[in-house]
Amino acid sequence: MTETIQLNNQTFILHCSGALFWEERSTLVVSDIHFGKVSHFRKHGAAVPQKAIQKNFTLLEAIVNQFEPKSICFLGDLFHSSLNAEWNLFEDWVAKTAAKLFLVAGNHDIISPLKYEALGIEVINEIVTQGFLFTHHPEEREGHFNFAGHIHPAIKLKGIGKQFLKLACFFKSKNQMILPAFGEFTGTFVLQPTKENEVYAISKDEIFKIDTASPII
């Protein structure tokens, strides 16, 4: 259900939901939830079940209850588009959450920062602390390890014949880790790893490290 890694003498727990927990700072990091996307698609005629709207909130609440973080950092694309009915659910979730909330703004975050600030959520462009750089878009900055989202990374595993399996993943290079999208119905983008990458694939309630030297990739 989790994998634990060490970076700069700090402990990070990778969760099968796609969330990341920084143990020493008691900070939960979540990327690309895209709240409101289900309602957006339903509004435009897509046959997405109504109950799918609640899934992201239920999962997020479960992760918060598990780690009990002092702060939560959303790495962008918290909401998919403009305000819709899911904002009311979000307000209810915020009201029940004791952690300090931060939003590193992403390209989909078009809702006014004033709406977030009214809920006590600080909207910022990036976080730089203890040699770590938290952004929405992946960045390279000398002297920093970057945590980012935006890409919705996935890995493709080849089977016998033309069979393959595509799994969302945490995708790590020397100075960067790209988090998977936390939200349902977000889609993925397949990345091709090299031997220098570390890939932690997600399958239902499991997370496991992929051998990037293996011919099955």
Give tens-digit pLDDT for 104-125. 999 888 899 999 999 999 999 9
Q: What is the pTM of this model?
A: 0.91
Domain count, the chain: 1
Does 159 fall in a domain? no
Greatest Cα-to-Cα distance within the chain, rounded to the nearest angstrom: 55
Does 85 fall in a domain? yes
Does 193 fall in a domain? no
Does 130 fall in a domain? yes
Q: Is the pLDDT of residue 44 over 50?
A: no
In this predicted structure, what is the pLDDT of residue 152? 96
Mean per-residue pLDDT, 139-154: 97
Does 191 fall in a domain? no
DSSP string covering the chain: -EEEEEETTEEEEEETTS-EEETTTTEEEE----BTHHHHHHHTT----TTHHHHHHHHHHHHHHHH--SEEEE-S-SBSSS--THHHHHHHHHHT--SEEEEE--TT--S-HHHHHTTTPEEES-EEETTEEE-SS----TT-EEEE-SS-EEEEEE-STT-EEEEEEEEEETTEEEPPP-STT---EE----TT-EEEEEETTEEEEE-TTSTT-
Does 52 fall in a domain? yes
Does 81 fall in a domain? yes
Q: State the residue range of the domain holding 177.
A: 2-151+172-186
- Residue 20 belongs to a domain with what CATH number? 3.60.21.10
Does 86 fall in a domain? yes
